[in-house]
């Protein structure tokens, strides 16, 4: 069918061309996989020279085309059915998606869905454009783990059985070798500080709880004998519905949060004092100071820990418990964070390319069936994690 006669809402066939926007700390082996999968790949960076250098560092010179990124330059090269992968900060996604809708190109990112992106979803669906979001590590793999655990518990306990539920999902990028600061920046320091300044909402003892300063809700969390510190972040409450908990199950505890090394709370005391009283300008300056004081170097090795645990206790006394654990360390070739973000994102892009994702908004995990499929594919590609029930 010719493009001009395509029905409204009918999915635009993938062209086979992928535009990867940005080559920061989270661009890893997933990008390399796409270079083997897609017909054509372009890497867009601040300048063509920086894009070329990034390709050289990744060992991909000649396998992708370097480009200097501006929205007009990207728009000029977009064709219907192309896939745009955004590694830019979340506030920049709406502008990118707007260009994609105009050009009838598909869109993918690893970030949460913003209101600005949501506003564009109806137009994207009408144009036959796939909008894949939350397809990284957190959000992304954490969703896959949660959906699969809930499906397994439903099979064991029964969706109609009254039960009390505890679900915790904690994820963190930390130094593989602990340092005095108890942290390693795997994304922009200003973004890290901004997240700490945002209130957190979650369920505790069956009631909604909000904390204006997430770090003040930090508590110990033991995983296989190792003690970490965890705290809630963002808004966990909408995920009760997104994860599809049965109506008969009452969530007593439902927390999605951040994991840090033991001792982090004490090591960051000065930072917290600044966050309490600093204005935007002071926090931006603090972010720059932290970046200079605690730089991420090529010699550093990071570690990513993601633990999702579900406990379901039925009124009859039956109990089902399950936990997924991902615990990876970075290597000389690739950081753990880059691997964990880029691999699921690349998998989602490949499913856009093969036509298996429908137009409109989608996340890494929409159903338990798709979660199990994606987890199996990620495991087959060497991403290591364990399930304990």
The residues annotated as belonging to the active site are 138
Within the chain, strands assigned E span 17-21, 40-45, 65-68, 83-86, 106-109, 130-133, 163-175, 200-204, 207-211, 219-223, 226-232, 249-261, 302-314, 319-329, 360-363, 386-388
Inter-CA distances, 318 with 47, 154, 321, Å: 59, 12, 10
Q: Residue 21: CB partners within 8 Å, gap ≥ 6? A: 44, 69, 74, 84, 85, 86, 87, 88, 96
Inter-CA distances, 344 with 15, 124, 167, 251, 377, Å: 21, 22, 22, 28, 9
Helix (H) or strand (E) holding 145: helix 141-157
The residues that bridge with 170 in the sheet, in sequence order, are 257, 307
Handedness of CA 254, 256, 262, 266 (dihedral sign): negative
């Amino acid at each position: 069918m010719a493009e001009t006669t395509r029905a409204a809402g009918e999915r635009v066939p993938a062209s086979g061309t992928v535009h990867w926007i940005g080559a920061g700390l989270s661009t890893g082996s997933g990008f390399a996989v796409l270079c083997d999968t897609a017909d054509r790949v372009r890497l867009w960076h601040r300048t063509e020279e920086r894009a070329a250098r990034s390709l050289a560092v990744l060992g991909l010179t000649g396998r992708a085309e370097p480009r200097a990124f501006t929205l007009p330059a990207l728009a000029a090269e977009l064709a219907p059915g192309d896939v745009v992968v955004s590694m830019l900060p979340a506030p920049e996604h709406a502008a990118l998606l707007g260009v994609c809708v105009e050009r009838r190109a598909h869109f993918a990112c690893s970030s949460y869905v913003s209101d600005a992106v949501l506003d564009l979803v109806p137009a994207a669906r009408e144009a036959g454009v796939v909008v894949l979001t939350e397809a990284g590590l957190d959000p992304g793999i954490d969703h896959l783990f949660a959906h699969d655990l809930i499906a397994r518990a439903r099979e064991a306990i029964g969706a109609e059985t009254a039960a009390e539920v505890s679900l915790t999902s904690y994820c963190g990028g930390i130094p593989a070798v602990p340092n005095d600061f108890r942290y390693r920046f795997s994304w922009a320091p200003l973004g890290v500080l901004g997240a700490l300044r945002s209130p957190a909402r979650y369920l505790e003892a069956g009631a909604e709880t909000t904390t204006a300063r997430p770090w003040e809700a930090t508590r110990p969390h033991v995983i296989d004998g190792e003690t970490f510190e965890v705290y809630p972040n963002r808004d966990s409450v909408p995920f009760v519905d997104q994860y599809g908990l049965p109506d008969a199950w009452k969530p007593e505890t439902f927390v999605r949060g951040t994991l840090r090394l033991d001792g982090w709370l004490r090591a960051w005391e000065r930072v917290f004092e600044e966050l309490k009283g600093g204005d935007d300008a002071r926090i931006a300056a603090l972010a720059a100071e932290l970046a200079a004081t605690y730089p991420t170097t090529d010699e550093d090795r990071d570690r990513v820990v993601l633990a999702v645990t579900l406990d379901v206790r039925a009124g009859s006394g039956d109990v089902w418990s399950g936990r997924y654990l991902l615990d990876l360390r970075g290597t000389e070739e690739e950081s753990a964070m880059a691997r964990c973000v880029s691999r699921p994102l690349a998998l989602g892009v490949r499913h856009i390319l093969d036509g298996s994702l429908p137009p409109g908004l989608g996340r890494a995990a929409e159903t338990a069936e798709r979660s199990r499929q994606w987890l199996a594919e990620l495991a087959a590609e060497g991403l290591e994690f364990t399930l304990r029930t």
